[in-house]
Amino acid sequence: MTSHQWRRRHLLSLADLEPWEYDIVLQTSASFAEVLMRPTPKVPTLQGRVVAMLFFETSTRTRNSFELAAKRLSADTLNFSPGTSALHKGETILDTAKTLLAMNTNLLVIRHQYSGVPHQIAQECDRLGTGVGVINAGDGQHEHPTQALLDLFTLCTQNNVKQPSLTGLQGCKVTIVGDIVHSRVARSNIHSLRAAGAEIHLAGPPTLVPKMWQTLGVQVHWQLEPALQSAHFVMALRLQKERMHQHFLPSLREYHREYGLTRERLTLCQPGVKLLHPGPANRGVELTSDIMDDPHLSLVSQQVNNGVAVRMAVLYLLSTAKITD
C-alpha cells in the first residue's frame, strides 16, 4: 500500500501520472469494487456533492458509468446534452460550464469532439478559483484517461483481484489492434501500459498505425501475426469512421481479412490470452462475434463492470484531494 496522498484536482491526461498515482487508483478501485458486490452497493462518501456530466459527443458506456459511479457514492448528478441545451441559442461552452458551476457543482465530467476542451475548462475553473475538479471523459483524438484506467484495473486484477498493482503487468505483452491514429483510448493506454512496464505492440494498416508511433516506446506492426505472437492480452479498437476524413481503408471486408481478430488468429497468442475492447464494437469488422461473446476469452463485460468502480475511485480521489495551492 502506498503512503502517498492524492494531490490532483483534475484528471485530464495520463501523460504525467506517476506510478504511485496509478497504484492509488488501482487500490481505491479495488475497495469500491468490493462495495459494489455488497447487497446495498452504495456509500455516503460524496453525499451533498454535485457531479455534472457535460457530454458534447455521444456516449453509452462512459456517460452511464460515470452517472452510476456518482450515484453509488451518493452524489447528486446533473446531465447536460447539447441537443437540449442553450448551446443552440448561441451560448459558449465556457458559459455553459459556468452555469453549472453557479449551481455549486463540485466536479465536471467532460466529453468533447475537440481535443483540449476539458483542459480549457479546467484552466478557467482554476483561474476563477472555483476549486472544481475536471475529468476528461474523452477529448477528440487526444485522451480518454478513465477508459485506460479501467483497462489497467481489468488487466491488473486478472492475477490479483484484491490487491492489484502496476508491477503486476511488468513484461506482459499487450497488443493493441486497429485504428490507433484516431484513438484517444490507444493514447491513454500507451501512457498507462508504459508506466506499468508492459511490452506494447500496435498493429494495423500503415494509414492507421504510423511507424512514428515507435518513438513512444512501442513496437509497430503492419502485419497482424507477429503482433499477436505470444501476446498475453489483445485489445481491439473500433475503426473511428467519424474521424476519418480521407480514405484510410480499401473496404471493411478487406480490413477484416487482414486485421480482424478471429479464434484461429488468437491461437498465436499465449495460451489463456484475454481479449479487450473498449466498445462500441463493430462485430465482424475488428473482431468476430464468437470471440467477443466467449466468457473464457473476452474481458469486455468485466471492463464495463470495472468502469463503475474505477470511476468511483476517480470521483472520490479528485473530490478529497489534498491540494496545497
Binding residues vs ligand NCD (CB under 6 A): 61-62, 138, 144, 147, 184-185, 238, 240, 278-279
DSSP code at position 242: G
- Whole-angstrom Cα distance, residue 61 to residue 137? 11
Q: How far is the CB of 230 from ligand NCD (least distance, A)?
A: 26
Nearer to ligand NCD, 197 or 279 (CB): 279
Nearer to ligand NCD, 25 or 125 (CB): 25
- DSSP states of 142-158 as a string? TB-HHHHHHHHHHHHTT
Nearest to 205 by CA among 185, 173, 188, 182: 182
Q: How far is the CB of 182 from ligand NCD (least distance, A)?
A: 9
Q: How far is the CB of 241 from ligand NCD (least distance, A)?
A: 10
Q: Which helix (H) or strand (E) holds 123?
A: helix 117-127
Which residues, in sequence order, are CB contacts of 291 under 8 Å at separation 6+?
Answer: 261, 262, 263, 266, 275, 297, 298
Nearer to ligand NCD, 165 or 189 (CB): 189
Nearer to ligand NCD, 116 or 279 (CB): 279
Nearer to ligand NCD, 118 or 138 (CB): 138
Give the CB-nearest residue to ligand NCD.
238
- Whole-angstrom Cα distance, residue 40 to residue 57? 32
Q: How far is the CB of 144 from ligand NCD (least distance, A)?
A: 5
Q: How far is the CB of 197 from ligand NCD (least distance, A)?
A: 25
- Whole-angstrom Cα distance, residue 240 to residue 323? 37
